Structure 1
Amino acid sequence: MGASERVVPEGARRRRRPTKGGTVLSEQLIVETTLRLIGEHGAAALTVRRLGAALGCDPSAVYRYFKDTDELLLAVADELIGRTLNSWRPTGDWRADLRALGLRMHADYMAHPQAAMLACARVTGRRHEIRSVDAILGVLRGAGFPDAEAVRIYHVFVDQTLSFAALDASTLALPVRARELEARAWRETYARMPAETHPHIAATSGVLVAEMDRSGYPAALEMVLAAAAGRLAHVRSGPPGA
């Protein structure tokens, strides 16, 4: 899409006639269809022509909603954030709330690994992302973290979650054969290392193979939450402004 294309205001975007499939175009429909196509074919295969075919409309109609494919991908990234937020219910227990949100974020990205690899590194500046930033900072400030601490912990919490999501999504997006070889390497190489040459791998091989077969995110999340709890205890026990 050309950056010079004119994006029509929201109120003027509705098509006067349904698409060939009998639906009326909307930004939400385009985003949902894009998310489905990325999941089926990967981001590299996403084209406006293919999107138009899936929507049952002329590809140029997409230009009325998004000036280029990058803007569309930002909208997809924001859609994933929105889905997570809409299913998250904070309880007032900051540690439990961040745990629930982090695990839900990670799981939602794993449900869309192809899109996750694109979305995790982007700042959308859109509605759902703004809601999420405000909500997480609200949880931390409400727990009693000073503003500088709240921002720092927010940064670590979000970047850790997105980093693991991107890493784990890249594994899920591998061809089945490649994923099988990854798993076999732990079972057939590391589990058989002799103690004479690699004593520490040999001593922990059973635990190592089991651990590396799953995501490290839940454990990493608990480490961050424990560190944050330690910081909060320090703030509460120290003099004002510490």
Structure 2
Amino acid sequence: MAGRRRWSSEEILDAAAELLRTSDAESFSVRKLAATLGTDSSSLYRHFRSRTELLRAVADRVLLASMDGYRAEGDWKRRITALALRLRDAFGRQPQLAAVWGRHASGGAGSRLVMEEVLSALRASGLPDEQIPVRYHRLAVLIASLIASEAGVSTITGDEHAQGMELFRVAVLGADPERFPALAHFARDIRPLGADRGAAFEDILAAQLAEIEAAARPS
């Protein structure tokens, strides 16, 4: 009688990524993944010690893919911007995995490549070495948060989007000008959170890089 198939780590990660594309990180479980593969959870724990370790490995594959073919070009700001946009595009194709990265981070080869490039670019900015770890952390939090937020918007259905837009219009255009004078004044110009996120991403990142540039200038 043939034994149960043994799955490789890469095959397990392929299946996990596919499962996450059609569900979300909250409902993901090793048991559900094992059922998808037609095996039991214990066989998966031989490859990954925990659910969190498995999720981190899935997220790291996205980082690794985003760095494939990357070449550091231009000044330090262009390098960080180009890298951030590559990460945004990579997670934009797999938005369910963006929340995994934002929550669990990763510690594999992809993560090391991203960290090395950002830290190298920050050193090229002229910042003193003692300031670079803090600036790196702020950039990492900012980029991960923006990507996770944008990915969250991209996963809503058309009906959910329409309902959200209607609620936004009611909340903003229907605001009592006596109680909310500033909101009433800007009501027709305020954009909902889901609007124009691409430009917002680049503007927010550019502002952070400008702050770093100012800090790097000799006093």
Q: How does 1:91-110 map to 2 (within 5 A)?
A: 91-110=73-92
Counterpart Cα distance in 2 of 1:101 and 1:231:
21
Counterpart Cα distance in 2 of 1:200 and 1:76:
45
Aligned to 1:171, which of 142, 153, 160?
153
Aligned to 1:231, which of 180, 203, 215?
215
Counterpart Cα distance in 2 of 1:85 and 1:91:
13
Cα shift at 1:148: 2.1
The Cα offsets for residues 108-137 of structure 1, whole Å up to 9 and x where unpaired, read as 223323222222132432222122212211
Moved more, 163-172 or 88-97: 163-172
Moved more, 192-201 or 159-168: 192-201
> Taking CA–CA contacts closer than 8 Å with sequence separation of 6 or more, which of the two structures ends up with the larger relative contact order?
2
Cα shift at 1:47: 3.4
Cα shift at 1:159: 0.6
Give the aligned partner of residue 18 of structure 2.
36
Give the aligned partner of residue 10 of structure 1.
none
Counterpart Cα distance in 2 of 1:61 and 1:97:
42
Cα shift at 1:98: 0.9
| Distance change >3 Å, CA 224–CA 230, structure 1 → 2 | same
Q: How does 1:147-166 map to 2 (within 5 A)?
A: 147-166=129-148
Give the fraction of aligned pairs with identical amino acids, expressed as a percent. 24
TM-score calculated relative to the size of structure 2: 0.82
8 Å CA contact 1:34, 1:51 repeated in 2: yes
8 Å CA contact 1:191, 1:209 repeated in 2: no
1:74 aligns with 2:56: yes
Pairwise CA RMSD: 2.9
Counterpart Cα distance in 1 of 2:54 and 2:102:
15
Give the aligned partner of residue 65 of structure 1.
47
8 Å CA contact 2:55, 2:104 repeated in 1: no
Q: How does 1:75-224 map to 2 (within 5 A)?
A: 75-174=57-156, 176-193=158-175, 195=177, 198-209=180-191, 213-215=195-197, 216-224=200-208
Q: Could you say what secondary structure the match of 2:188 adopts?
A: helix
Runs of at least 5 residues in structure 2 that lack an aligned partner in the other structure: none
TM-score calculated relative to the size of structure 1: 0.75
For the pair shown, which has the larger CA radius of gyration, 1 or 2? Answer: 1
Aligned positions, number: 216
Counterpart Cα distance in 2 of 1:38 and 1:180:
25
Cα shift at 1:211: 6.9
Q: Which amino acid aligns with 1:153?
A: R
